[in-house]
Amino acid sequence: MKIDKSLSDLIKEQVKLEKEIAKKFSTLEQRVDSVAAKLLIREMQLDTKKHAEILEAALEAIGGPKSFWDYTIHIDADKRAVKKELEEHIKAEETMMSQIGEEARKTDDEALKLLLNHFAEDEKRHHKNLETIVNKAYKMEI
């Protein structure tokens, strides 16, 4: 990856903004008076913190000579064992997806349904992420 100062600057600005917003959400959460509003705000607050943390970590690799997949960190771990563990996580995500689906079918509460649907989307993404990791970095046969 080419050194892209302006990308780094943009990301730094975004991290700052995400952190400010996360703080504001946590105050706002205490000022809203319904459980649904509180939970939805908390969810956004955690998303915002997540964005800040991931972008901060990405900043360390940006500007390096390699792309993120090629930029490897020396780790003392058995690749085969890690692959097996990743595959176990894929199964766990499947279990969570069906669990959440079942919960969403059992509730008539609109806000809870909405939150559960967000989580189902998250789990789908987690599942795909794990598959991407296995396919991109753990292609070898066990």
**Closer residue to Fe ion in complex, CB, 15/83:** 15
As measured in angstroms, the least distance from the Cβ of 123 to Fe ion is: 5
Asked if residue 115 binds Fe ion (CB under 5 A), the reply is no
The span from the CA of 120 to the CA of 102, in Å, is 11
Asked if residue 42 binds Fe ion (CB under 5 A), the reply is no
R_g of the chain computed on alpha carbons: 19
Q: How many CB atoms lie within 10 A of CB 52?
A: 19
Burial group, residue 70, by CB count within 10 angstroms (0-12, 13-18, 19+): exposed
Name which position in 19, 51, 113, 118 contacts Fe ion (CB under 5 A).
51
Asked if residue 126 binds Fe ion (CB under 5 A), the reply is yes
Asked if residue 100 binds Fe ion (CB under 5 A), the reply is no
- The residues that touch Fe ion, with contacts defined as CB under 5 A, are 18, 51, 123, 126
